[in-house]
Structure 1
């Protein structure tokens, strides 16, 4: 994707394997003899970041698509602290559409899923995991933002994204414990673009899906970029 396209996309808009630690050198008392004895091998606890890596879709899950770490060269914002809004209540919407985590997660991971066809839309998957109750709170905040921001809002970071309207819609794939979806319309250099986003919660993990056609935006061609059902269903299946 060239610079012009990357900038246009940004205007809208991470692991190690399970390890075993040998503790043979450590001794613990043997209650029967009073002598020290070797402790047993034990598996280290999987970190939140490692867990998300295991849950993220792989190319074998989505035939015809590539799964990669997105470039950070021209992102709209690298952290939520960089984003300011004319309507603070709309912050979850801006975060969801720019691959920033919702709420206060323990870890987050984003991948971009593309076809090999030049000019096709790009889809982003952001997974987040939370302490008890955090995932529910994140989904609740997103739902409230959809209700409060129907007339649109403006977000600023590395550029300005002005959204004309936000509307709830039926999800591409309903799964997990709860799912919500919305579409946002924006006008960029005279062309109207409809952007689709979906969030799915499965336990304490939330998956946010977002699709955009940067080529259409860069070329001032109207777009309505829907989420690819195969990708959403594959990721939801991995969440369980």
Structure 2
């Protein structure tokens, strides 16, 4: 885990307090050889859903001038900085708002077959964008995105999520236009939160491409830690680069 990613996750944790040979043998005659069963070629190992996602997820080579790091807090050494490591740890007073809490805390929507997460930033003091890819069984990705869309409308007045003694409170949730149109459908929204009396805006977009969902979330952790107002917009270059790999 590099220093930049750990620092960003630390800030998110701070915010949450308020707001992963054929059978041998001796050779014999030609006749003996003919009676022996032919050697079989081992079946080619099938790629797992997680392995496929790792081939699809954004890398440093895809975004010029940015660092890309593994941000899978569920399995990394940075797990202690996460608001939650699984959906089971999260509680929301209004269950309809739960997908929002998942999307803004690098947790997958619904129940995917596998998921991977990366963090993207120009530098330690710049906003971080988290990219989560999740793949689903046939027919499961569309309902997952529908639930997120319903949550945006139902939780416009804000909501509070809790996990492991931490609390994340959001003042408002507002639908907005996607940063970049891609895939089969998209849902985009901004959320406001207040920390130490200062308002901050974070942005999220989810894109469905077949049975894969890409969720993008941007936050300016440095501004939050320094009580400086922030509006962490999603970088279009990151969204476009990731979507291009899913096309």
Whose helix proportion is higher, 1 or 2?
2
C-alpha deviations, 1:145-192, integer Å up to 9, x for none?
111111110011142111111111000111011111011111111110
SS of residue in 1 equivalent to 2:61:
coil
Distance change >3 Å, CA 38–CA 85, structure 1 → 2 = same
Give the match for residue 70 of structure 2: 69
Give the match for residue 38 of structure 1: 39
Are positions 1:196 and 2:203 aligned together? yes
C-alpha deviations, 1:202-238, integer Å up to 9, x for none?
1110000000011100111111100011111000000
Pick the aligned partner of 2:95 from 84, 88, 103.
Answer: 88
Distance in 1 of aligned mates of 2:186 and 2:135: 16
Task: Report matched runs for 1:21-32 at 5 Å.
Answer: 24-25=22-23
Which stretches in structure 2 are left out of the alignment for 5+ residues? 24-33, 72-77
Q: Tell me the TM-score normalized by structure 2.
A: 0.84
Distance in 1 of aligned mates of 2:5 and 2:116: 24
Which range is displaced more, 186-195 or 67-76?
A: 67-76
1:5–1:218 Cα contact (<8 Å) kept: no
2:206–2:214 Cα contact (<8 Å) kept: yes
Highest Rg: 1 or 2? 2
Give the match for residue 19 of structure 1: none
SS of residue in 2 equivalent to 1:155:
strand
Shift of 1:88: 1.2
Task: Report matched runs for 1:136-175 at 5 Å.
Answer: 136-158=142-164, 159-175=166-182
Are positions 1:120 and 2:120 aligned together? no
Distance change >3 Å, CA 4–CA 238, structure 1 → 2 = closer
Distance in 2 of aligned mates of 1:114 and 1:146: 26
C-alpha deviations, 1:109-158, integer Å up to 9, x for none?
01111113x41001100000010111111111111111111111001114
C-alpha deviations, 1:35-57, integer Å up to 9, x for none?
73333454221100100100011
Distance change >3 Å, CA 4–CA 199, structure 1 → 2 = closer
Give the match for residue 232 of structure 1: 239
2:102–2:108 Cα contact (<8 Å) kept: yes
Distance in 2 of aligned mates of 1:201 and 1:7: 29
SS of residue in 2 equivalent to 1:38:
coil
Give the match for residue 100 of structure 1: 107
Q: Tell me the TM-score normalized by structure 1.
A: 0.87
Which stretches in structure 1 are left out of the alignment for 5+ residues? 15-22, 26-32
C-alpha deviations, 1:61-118, integer Å up to 9, x for none?
01111111123231111111111112111000000000001000000101111113x4
2:5–2:69 Cα contact (<8 Å) kept: no
Matched residues, number: 225
Give the match for residue 218 of structure 2: 211
Distance in 1 of aligned mates of 2:120 and 2:133: 13
Give the match for residue 51 of structure 1: 52
SS of residue in 1 equivalent to 2:228:
coil
Give the match for residue 116 of structure 2: 109
